[in-house]
Amino acid sequence: MINVAICDDVVSTTGKIETMLQNIAKRNFMPVDTDVFWKGEHLVDSVEMGNSFDIIFLDIEMGQEDGITVARRIRKIDKSVLIVYVTSHENYMMESFEIRPFRFLVKPVSREMMERCLQAAYEEISSTDSYFRYSYQRINHKIPIGEILYFESNRRKVKIITEKENFELYGKLNDIEKSLERSKVAFLRVHQSFLVSYKHVEEIGYDFVVLKTCASHSRYFSDELDALSF
């Protein structure tokens, strides 16, 4: 699912952009989900709460906080999100260079302009996507796949163990394994309850796995597997 945020202080504009995006996505069989914000601060609050977006369509000329200031705040949290500026003026291009915008769309935005932009963004995300994406407690999350040590399934919940912290989601390990098939990082299904990142494996045996990234995880993981019957 491609998560898209639309931020503009004009309600009619957000409505037009959202409808246009949904129609284009449906026609091109793109899995797109949209969220609308009428204030830049609300968008920033959402990102700070942990909501993750793949594309943000952002108006530059808003009320108290302009789109460039909003983008600066978002970039401190998310370096990879594609920011598309929607503006009535092109003279902001130089000022916004530091934000690394993906595209500039000049109002009024035509369907053809939006379709080219969305197609390009979709291809960019599909070709460089190195994140595991999931939703938990109505918040969208993404974790760099390279940081994931392993997934552990326990009934209806799956734990995501990374180098720095752990996360949870509701789901099935089979579905997660299938979603990672196109990832450049290989994952090994060493047991019905464990899906391990091959890049972090130091040693693997009949009834144990040792991870090279973190000793504490290695001991825990090895003990867990040792207690299971294969």
Lookup result for tokens 């399934």: 153
Give start and end residues of each alpha helix (H) in 78-110. Answer: none
Does the 2-129 domain belong in CATH 3.40.50.2300?
yes
The tokens describing 138, both together, are 């109505």
**Do the Cβ atoms of 43 and 74 come closer than 8 Å?**
yes
Tens-binned pLDDT, residue by residue, of the chain (230 aa): 789 999 999 999 999 999 999 999 998 878 899 999 999 999 999 999 989 999 999 998 887 788 999 999 999 999 889 999 998 876 666 667 778 899 999 889 999 999 999 999 988 876 655 789 898 988 889 898 888 999 999 989 999 999 889 999 999 999 999 888 767 677 888 888 899 988 788 777 766 777 876 544 554 455 555 444 33
The tokens describing 196, both together, are 């391990």
- 143-226 and 2-129 share a CATH fold: no
**Do the Cβ atoms of 4 and 54 come closer than 8 Å?**
yes
Amino acid 214: pLDDT: 54
Separation CA 78–CA 60 (nearest Å): 19
**At the topology level of CATH, where does 143-226 sit?**
OB fold (Dihydrolipoamide Acetyltransferase, E2P) (2.40.50)
Cα Rg, the chain, nearest whole Å: 21
Using DSSP, state whether 2 is helix, strand or coil. Answer: strand
| Residue extents of the structural domains in the chain | 2-129, 143-226
